[in-house]
Chain A
Amino acid sequence: MSPKPETVTSQADALAKGSTTSGDLIRTALRRAEERADLNAFVSLDSDVVLDQARASDARRSAGTTLSPIDGVPVAIKDNYLTRDFPTTACSRALPRAAIGVDATVVANLRAAGAIIFGKTNMHEWAFGATNTTSSIGPTRNPHNTDHITGGSSGGSAAAVAAGIVGAALGSDTGGSVRIPSAACGVYGFKPTYGRASRHGVLPLSWSLDAPGPIARSLDDLALLLPFFLGSDPNDTATAQATPFEKQSAPDSPIILNLVGEGLERSEEVDLAVRTALNRGGASMKDTTIPHLRSFFAAWEAILHVEASSYHETLLADAPAAFTSVTRAHLEAGRQITALQAMQAQKLRACFIELLLNGLGEWDALALPTLPVPAPKHGQDRQSFGGRDVMTQDSMTWFCWPGNLAGLPCISLPVETSTNGLPISMMLMGRPGKDESLLEIAYQFDNVR
């Protein structure tokens, strides 16, 4: 086994002290990627490209022209972000395997800061799924136990971070795709408030639900990376009023609502782990239920399917065989949702946001497990927990979709290890625009084991 994996923060410190070079970090990362090829975490990785970036970074540091604290630190990129030096395929057979010379806004921000764009990570095809078992290069495998799935759709990013190949990676989240694999792999994931992080250059799944976000090995690393995500971008109109990252302190005694009840069932082991973490963190919390979850879930699912089908309309008509069977079925379903049903979903969305923000009493964060069960095994199609028996795909998004339907900032952090040795994670959702405050609240529950 390799030495203890580094965080982005520790790598940046080592570079600043001169105890390592970007070239050393990159060679180590390349070696680890090769050692853990069994995880199938990367779809594109080119040692010449990344070593060239590292040489340029080391030259800047020698010349005293370092661009930022993360200059020279490797960051892996989910394969639905455009990158100028790697192909972008969304792990679909439909897209060409050639770089098109354009960076997504978040990638451009990181590159401008000197980060090494390390390679592209495996993902669920077009991000339309949360297991990471459907991909043009095959499934990812969980670093904690390769018999288990990573979750998705940013499964390669989470696996690469959990295995210590890189300290951080980018994901995108439409119904939990940053948080789900982060939880399944025992690392940290953040989904920003909708409209605070630019989606420009991130291939869409569902425009009004998508949010790009970081996956990392610590809260400090998330804090280091969020400034590259948050802020206005003229290429993404949703961010017109977005403010840049500004460190905030947490409320003195944050009010946490622990969401429970019908539609939010979980295994006893997961429930105990999250309650224990909340108690050890000293949370002032109370159990709270949300009514009509079945209808609100239908609203999320309708919006997801309609927007995805709209985005893929031409390709679906011209080359349906370009999609795997399950993804094509999703897209065909979206085509059959009527305009009135789509509008009904948007009305329910408004009700849901109103209910969460103004109908539950005062709160600073909403708490849930990130997943109702630890990462399922490959080939296990159904999950049973809390009296429910559901498809594995549905169990993955079980707690995550509300954050996207309401556009709230969300964070997933590991809090316990299950009896079968897999991570159990907790999710906190914050009030819209309070991303920095949510991050500070999360520190209260970090490392409380």
Chain B
Amino acid sequence: MNNPEHLTEDQQKRIKATLARIRGGLAAMPQPPSAEPAHVFHPESFNVPKT
């Protein structure tokens, strides 16, 4: 069902524009390989019982 053929022309235009904006913006500021992503992961935060 997610075949692009099932998307309308307007949807395909929107997808193309969104991806161009995202990829263009990301590529405009490359990061050094050592730069650490901002993922926040605190394993100890799972060490609490759920209510």
| Interface, chain A (partner B; CB < 8 A) | 195, 208, 234-235, 237-238, 240-241, 292, 294-299, 301-302, 305, 316-318, 320, 325-326, 328-330, 332-333, 335-337, 341, 343-351, 353
With contacts A234-B50, A320-B2 taken as known, whether A298 is within 8 angstroms of B37 at the C-beta atoms is no
- A298 touches which of B7, B15, B26, B49 (Cβ 8 Å): B26
25 contacts between A and B (CB under 8 A): A234-B48, A234-B49, A235-B50, A237-B42, A240-B42, A240-B45, A240-B48, A295-B29, A297-B25, A302-B22, A305-B18, A320-B1, A325-B8, A329-B10, A330-B18, A332-B2, A344-B31, A346-B38, A347-B36, A348-B29, A348-B31, A350-B36, A350-B37, A351-B29, A353-B38
Bound-complex Cα distance A208 to B26 (A): 18
Please report the C-alpha to C-alpha distance between residue A328 and residue B28 in the assembled complex, in whole angstroms: 27
> Contacts A348-B26, A351-B31 given: A238-B2 contact, CB under 8 Å?
no
Question: Knowing that A297-B25, A298-B22 are A-B contacts, what are 5 other residue pairs whose CB atoms are under 8 Å apart, sorted by A's residue number?
Answer: A235-B51, A237-B46, A329-B10, A329-B12, A343-B37
A394 smallest CB distance to B (angstroms): 10
Given contacts A347-B31, A347-B35, A349-B38, contact A341 B45 (CB under 8 A): no
**A349:B37 contact, CB within 8 angstroms:** yes
In the bound assembly, the distance between CA atoms of A335 and B35 in angstroms comes to 25
Cβ contacts under 8 Å, A328 to chain B: 7, 11
B5 at the interface (CB under 8 A from A): no
Residues of A within 8 A of B7 (CB): 328-329, 332
- Contact A347-B38, Cβ < 8 Å, known A328-B11, A336-B15, A341-B23: yes
Closest 8 CB pairs of A and B: A298-B25, A240-B45, A346-B37, A295-B29, A350-B38, A349-B38, A329-B14, A329-B11
Question: Please, how many angstroms separate the alpha-carbon atoms of A346 and B45 in the complex?
Answer: 21
The residue of chain A having its C-beta at the shortest distance from the C-beta of B14 within the complex is A329
Given the interface pairs A333-B15, A344-B31, A350-B37, the reply to whether A318 lies near B25 with Cβ below 8 Å is: no
